[in-house]
A and B are shown apart, each in its own frame.
Chain A
Amino acid sequence: MTRTPLRPLARILDARQRGENPDAIERENLRLRHEAMRDSARRRAEGRLVVLAGAFVLAFGVVGLRMGLMAAAEPQEPRAELAGNPIVGQRADITDRNGRVLATNLSTYALYAQPPKLIDRVGAAKKLAAIFPDLDEERLVKDFTGTRKFLWIKKKVSPEQRQAVHDIGDPGLLFGPREMRLYPNGRLAAHVLGGASFGREGVNSAEVIGVAGIEKAMDDTLRNPARGGAPLVLSIDMTVQSTMREVLYGGMRLMNAKGAAGILMDIDSGEILSMVSLPDFDPNDRPRPLTKGDAGDSPLFNRAVQGVYELGSVFKIFAVAQAMELGLVGPNTLVDADAPMKWGRFTLREFQNKNYGPLLSVSDVITKSSNVGTARLALQIGPERQKAFLDSFGVFDPTPVELVEASGAKPLLPPKWSEIVAITASYGHGFSASPLHLAAAYSSLLNGGTKVEPTLLKRDGAPSGNRLVSERVSRASAKMLRQVVLEGTASFGRVPGYEVGGKTGTANKPIAGRKGYYKDKNINTFASVFPADDPAYVLIVMLDEASDNSGREPRRTAGWTAVPVAAEVIRRTAPLLGLRPKIEPVAASGVTLASE
């Protein structure tokens, strides 16, 4: 670019000759120069704007393109991630309190058929029936030759069976991967675990859902992927559970009982260390519920939780504890126990028409299990206060334990809590509760007097519940229960080394559908606590229709049936729980010093 001088000499001289002002030329040139400078500055600015706009268009274009790509692309697992995916099972394992497996998953296959693809329909049916003896050959032939396009043949097949089906070699027989629930311990904790089965089924996978017990109650937790496959830890101790089941089963057979139930509970935390109900079943092969007859006769029935029975004298301790709590009596106060006692048109008798009266100390009312004595105490307490007291122990509501059956087991109560109800309730008749209710109530009474909620899940430390009775009453109650074992109705409950305390309960079974009670069918219960001087565990043993036939005539009281079984349970389980027996001092050997 050539630069024009502001005062070109030729034009200046020219202008001077014409007598014009030469400054006008300079101003004119200056103006032109300024205009040219302005134009070039504008051009540069415009260029920059275009570049900037281009950059923006490019940047936003990239973002938009990427968004579109992401929205349209198929979802894909991140491949370059470091950690492997630890979640294998769709359902979390269940373990006992020490991490031993109670329920786990196993991958297996389901067998299905697509009849249109079958080559030899009749032959395939015949060979299948040979592999699976429970399949009906004729039915298979009918299904295969009919119009069906698809049918399930077996929900779970073992690897050997799968190989055998492979060996048939028919392209119409196909396998779908399945995850099945496995209970490696079989019957061990059948009623606690319940069972599982398949929910919605597809060819490539099937839902595993809980059908009973804790599997159903905690279904959402077990299937929650956010837990990352962490197992559900129960409060059950497998060793104790196994021992309890073994002893109870032996006891049930020895005592000719129809069923048995046992609950061992940690007295402070309410954790159930063992819960057994007999007869039981194999959760791997859960039997069908009974379609007729009494549901209580099915092995699926959990006597410990679902069985609401009139449990009898085991509830006497609550009448006594309340009377002590209210300050009406002390352990040594004498009460009227003259039997038979008349109340309106009712006559109250003792066991075998005995009479422990006329006066009996409160402690002896429990030791001798006097109906009249507790009835007198109940009348002193009054029906309302008694009902409220029992209610505070949770005896009238379904237990909050994590079993799907628990909410259905509502205790049966008389509609009106009159004085005669109060009298019968004082010795455990006229209302029904389950052994689990009893276990929780005993724990609450004897752990120092604070409310305990039973649970099947492992707890860290003991939660502090509401205070129900004072510590003094709690200790006095435990002492009375100890007396029952030392010199009362539960003398078979003595276990050397462990101070067992407990109360027996013998109740006649009500006749189903009619008024009245069976004379020769009992529910025998022993509610025990050990060690009695510093209660740590509560054990409830219940036998259904037990009778000890070793004597001249059958003995059907709890003292002869449930108590020896419970004592054996304690003898076997207490060492497993880490309780050291109190070693009685060894008698000095007969050595005499020579100097004497």
Chain B
Amino acid sequence: MRLLLYVLPGLAIVALAFWAYSENYETQKSLSRVRDLQRQIGIEHETLAILRAEWAYLSRPERLRDLADLNFTALGLMPLLPYHFAGVDQIGYPPEDLGPLNGTITLMSETLP
């Protein structure tokens, strides 16, 4: 009984030491992974900034205007001018559906005496 009392804590200590040891290495690994990720995030941020700058450069109004002029035949883009606005009543809506023409059609001339 007494022997068990001495051996069990000893075993527990060994087990805990092993657990702490492996946990320590896990932590180190996680930390270095976090560091790598953070460095990667930093690089991605930088890339993002470069892409944003490039996007701004490629979509600068001067270039877009030149492109619109060059491709006028294909796109027909032109500056927004006052006459491009229209009233709602000026919009051509699709015609109302007349319904299927499957009934008997009576000609007007037939009804006349």
Contacts and interface: CB of A to CB of B under 8 A. Distances in A.
Given A84-B38, A101-B52, 4 more contacts: A84-B42, A106-B53, A107-B49, A497-B82
5 contacts: A79-B31, A85-B42, A238-B61, A571-B82, A583-B85
A498 interface: yes
B98 interface: no
Contacts of A186: 60, 62
A136 interface: no
Given A104-B56, A583-B85, A80 B61 contact: no
A86 B62 contact: no
A575 B84 contact: yes
B87 interface: yes
Interface in A48-90: 79-81, 84-86, 88-89
A88 B61 contact: no
What 5 A-B pairs have minimum CB-CB distances, sorted nearest first? A242-B61, A184-B56, A84-B41, A101-B56, A184-B57
A81 B37 CA distance: 11
Interface string A569-588: 00110111000110100000
B84 A100 contact: no
B65 A580 contact: no
Nearest to A246: B65
A243 interface: yes
A495 interface: yes
Contacts of B52: 101, 104
A103 to B, nearest CB: 9
A185 B65 CA distance: 13
A496 interface: yes
B80 A576 contact: yes
B46 A107 contact: yes
B82 A104 contact: no
B101 interface: no
B61 A575 contact: no
Most buried by B among A79, A84, A243, A574: A84
Nearest to B60: A185
Contacts of B29: none
B25 to A, nearest CB: 15
A188 interface: yes
Contacts of B62: 185-186, 188, 242
A48 to B, nearest CB: 27
B50 to A, nearest CB: 6
Interface in A151-181: none
B14 interface: no
A571 B81 contact: yes
Contacts of B87: 583
Contacts of B50: 106-107
B77 to A, nearest CB: 14
B110 to A, nearest CB: 24
Nearest to A580: B85
B31 to A, nearest CB: 5
Contacts of A243: 79
Contacts of A79: 31, 34-35, 38
Interface in B31-90: 31, 34-35, 37-38, 41-42, 45-46, 49-50, 52-53, 55-57, 60-62, 65, 79-87
Nearest to A79: B31
A309 B41 CA distance: 53
B28 to A, nearest CB: 10
Contact of B53 (A100, A184, A242, A571): A184
Given A184-B60, A185-B60, A581-B85, A575 B80 contact: yes
B42 A581 contact: no
Contacts of A182: 53, 57
Interface in A447-502: 495-498
Given A101-B53, A185-B62, A243-B79, A88 B85 contact: no
A288 B85 CA distance: 46
A239 B83 CA distance: 19
B8 to A, nearest CB: 28
B49 A185 contact: no
B45 A86 contact: yes
A415 to B, nearest CB: 46
Contacts of A246: 65
Nearest to B40: A84
A100 to B, nearest CB: 7
A105 interface: yes
B61 A185 contact: yes
Interface in B12-32: 30-31
A572 B35 contact: no
Contacts of A242: 61-62, 65
Contacts of A100: 56
Nearest to B48: A88
B61 A188 contact: yes
A79 B33 CA distance: 10
A574 B60 contact: no
B85 A575 contact: yes
A88 B46 contact: yes
Contact of B34 (A80, A495, A498): A80
B45 A88 contact: yes
Contacts of A185: 56, 60-62
A88 B45 CA distance: 7
B54 to A, nearest CB: 8
Contacts of B82: 495-498, 571, 574-575, 581
Contacts of B79: 243, 572
A80 B29 CA distance: 11
A539 to B, nearest CB: 15
Contacts of B81: 571-572, 575
B85 A106 contact: no
A109 to B, nearest CB: 13
Contacts of A574: 82
A175 B37 CA distance: 26
A583 to B, nearest CB: 6
Given A185-B61, A188-B61, A498-B82, A85 B53 contact: no
A574 B46 CA distance: 38
